[in-house]
Structure 1
Amino acid sequence: MATGALAEEIRQRLGQCSPAERKVGRVLLAGWPAAGFETIATLADRAAVSAPTVIRFVNRLGYKGFPDFQTALRAELDERNASPLSLYASGSYADEAEGSAAGKAGPAGLLRHGSEVFTTAVGRTLAELTPHDVECAVQLLADPKRRITLAGGRFTHLLAQYLGLHLMQLRDDVRFLPDRPVERTAVLAALNRRDVLVVFDYRRYEDDKVTMADIVQERGGKTVLFTDTWLSPVASRAEVVLPSQVAAPSPYDSLVPTLAVVETVVAGILTTLAEPGHRRMQVGEDTAKRLGLA
């Protein structure tokens, strides 16, 4: 499955296209994103349609012509691969005028700007998630027959731990993917159809996450992916994909919207587990008190 906002737009528009235009869309998705940078003639030949059909297809997507479509694709890939350093250098992480005004206004302006950015990002994230995907994630993570393994990235390991620590209070068979190679290999080698791998993977995606998802898929298990709106390559292997906005008042991608998604999923798990979840929490609390940890 091709991933990215443009690819998703193409998939959603296929039903509105003529049969010939759908051929163009399918060829684009099959070779995404490289196919989007081919010439009109090459794409038309591969789709067995005329060159004007290719142009009509991108016009239907809202682009003035094929160069306009390729410009949008190139911009999306640049955003997808952006780092905090490149965003800082380009100043593209925020509107310069707004950022300047916030800076001149001092802490009060910074707080107003942060409030606007985070409120919008969290609101958009929760509004754009489908109830089906959230429900599927809740059911997989609440299923007592499933074993849960969580893995994060450079910063997102913090969210993997946050979700995992909540799950450990509510159910059995929850673990974090170990850091040490021998332990990590042992855990991944033992995955089977009862396993659910929870992956947090955001732009500048990590190749090992794709390999992990491949292993889970090969063994008959499931993957739940938390990612950004450009979608990690893991999306094509995942049973559930939960994308979040990452807009922030700094060049660092924000994890605030993802935290809102995590806590929404936890709320759903609590409701689903009901009394067994409550009993598990009570046993954990009693045990912590006996150990002097509560």
Structure 2
Amino acid sequence: MEMLPEYNGEKMGKKPLVKDLIKEKQEELTAAERRLTATLLDDSLIAGLQSITKLAESVGVSTPTVIRLARKLGYDGYPDLQNAIREEVAARMKEPLAKLETARLSGGKDHIVSRFAAAVSHNINRSLDRLDLQEFDKVAAVLSDLDRKLYLLGGRITRSNAHYFFNHLQIIRPGVSLLDFSPSVWPQSLLDMDEKSTLIVFDIRRYEKELERLAKLVVNQGANIVLFTDEWGSPIEKYAAFCFRSMVEVPSSWDSTLAINFLIEALVAEIQSRSRSAERIAALEEMIGESRIFRST
């Protein structure tokens, strides 16, 4: 069997992300350094693009504190940290047209089908490498809890992922709702959310402010959030009880959500194994058989 060519896309995702390094090092940081990292994370690292003096003044720390933080994160100093932040922000905010040009340049003479297959395989394998299986099991348990109401919502690109997950969940269990894409009707659903509710939300670059605002309101209602996002992490992460990051880079002007769908299907299989869905599916089949009056003949 012929081997697929190695995916020749961007390598940035292989480096540790600044936001991940910050989370890993939290216990080693001083109070002043934690205030600094809180500012960086709260603004999706954008604050780290300003000068060291302005950053220190905005947080109320000294410039040596900024330098010490950079070194604790493994960088040579603040300029080195800034370069990492700049790369991370640039990759996160990349325009679709810029992605298309990159794909054309790096594609060579290989066929798009082979290059795309290699990229998708790479994305799934790397997503699995960073998957926390204990967190996966916890999410499966939450989504299997029949006392819990489930709501799903996706963004402009990921609404299809939300709809796909919804179609499976509503067959497996009751109490599942797909939120309308229009923010104007979200308040009605928010009204019914409480501590026994979970919002499953999908948000990949370029992240949607409306979804972030909704996430904050959902948490204020006492509900929790399961987030599916890309390798850089949506701003919704700060509100999410559980988060799955998947790789999305492919040789295309669009990001791929196939690695996300892999996780969805794995969760569907686990949730179904934990439930009495066989009885529900049998009842559904019987209902479909008796509803021929609704079909065209």
**Same fold per superposition (TM over 0.5):** yes
After superposition, residues 244-259 of structure 1 pair within 5 angstroms as 244-259=246-261
Partner of 1:290: 290
Partner of 1:105: none
Q: Which segment drifts farther, 145-154 or 283-292?
A: 283-292
Which digits, 9 at most, give the CA deviation of each residue in 1:168-209, with x for residues without a partner? 111001111124566433222332222211111111111111
Cα distance change, pair 194–15 in 1 and its aligned pair in 2 (3 A): closer
After superposition, residues 173-212 of structure 1 pair within 5 angstroms as 173-179=175-181, 183-212=185-214
Using the TM superposition, give the Cα deviation of residue 50 of structure 1 relative to its aligned residue in structure 2, in angstroms. Answer: 6.4
Matched AA of 1:148: L
Which digits, 9 at most, give the CA deviation of each residue in 1:84-114, with x for residues without a partner? 123224x2xx4834x0231xxxxxx333322
After superposition, residues 96-115 of structure 1 pair within 5 angstroms as 96-97=105-106, 99-102=107-110, 109-115=111-117
Partner of 1:58: 70
Using the TM superposition, give the Cα deviation of residue 261 of structure 1 relative to its aligned residue in structure 2, in angstroms. Answer: 0.8
Partner of 2:155: 153
Gapped runs of 5+ residues in structure 1? 103-108
Partner of 1:9: 21
Using the TM superposition, give the Cα deviation of residue 284 of structure 1 relative to its aligned residue in structure 2, in angstroms. Answer: 1.2
Two-structure CA RMSD over aligned residues (Å): 2.5
Which digits, 9 at most, give the CA deviation of each residue in 1:226-280, with x for residues without a partner? 111111111111111111100112121001100101111111101221xx22211
Using the TM superposition, give the Cα deviation of residue 58 of structure 1 relative to its aligned residue in structure 2, in angstroms. Answer: 2.0
Partner of 1:30: 39
Q: Which segment drifts farther, 40-49 or 282-291?
A: 40-49
Q: Kindly, what percent of the aligned residue pairs are identical?
A: 28
Say whether the 8 Å CA contact 1:24–1:43 is kept in structure 2: no
Matched AA of 2:254: Y
Structure 2 length-normalised TM? 0.83
Using the TM superposition, give the Cα deviation of residue 152 of structure 1 relative to its aligned residue in structure 2, in angstroms. Answer: 0.8
CA–CA distance in structure 1, aligned partners of residues 182 and 71 of structure 2: 51
Using the TM superposition, give the Cα deviation of residue 14 of structure 1 relative to its aligned residue in structure 2, in angstroms. Answer: 3.6
Gapped runs of 5+ residues in structure 2? 1-15
CA–CA distance in structure 1, aligned partners of residues 205 and 17 of structure 2: 13
Say whether the 8 Å CA contact 2:190–2:221 is kept in structure 1: no
> How many matched pairs?
275
After superposition, residues 222-233 of structure 1 pair within 5 angstroms as 222-233=224-235
Matched AA of 1:285: E
Partner of 2:244: 242
Say whether the 8 Å CA contact 1:24–1:47 is kept in structure 2: no
Using the TM superposition, give the Cα deviation of residue 13 of structure 1 relative to its aligned residue in structure 2, in angstroms. Answer: 2.6
Say whether residues 1:86 and 2:98 are aligned partners.
Answer: yes
User: Which of 80, 91, 98 is equivalent to 1:68?
Assistant: 80
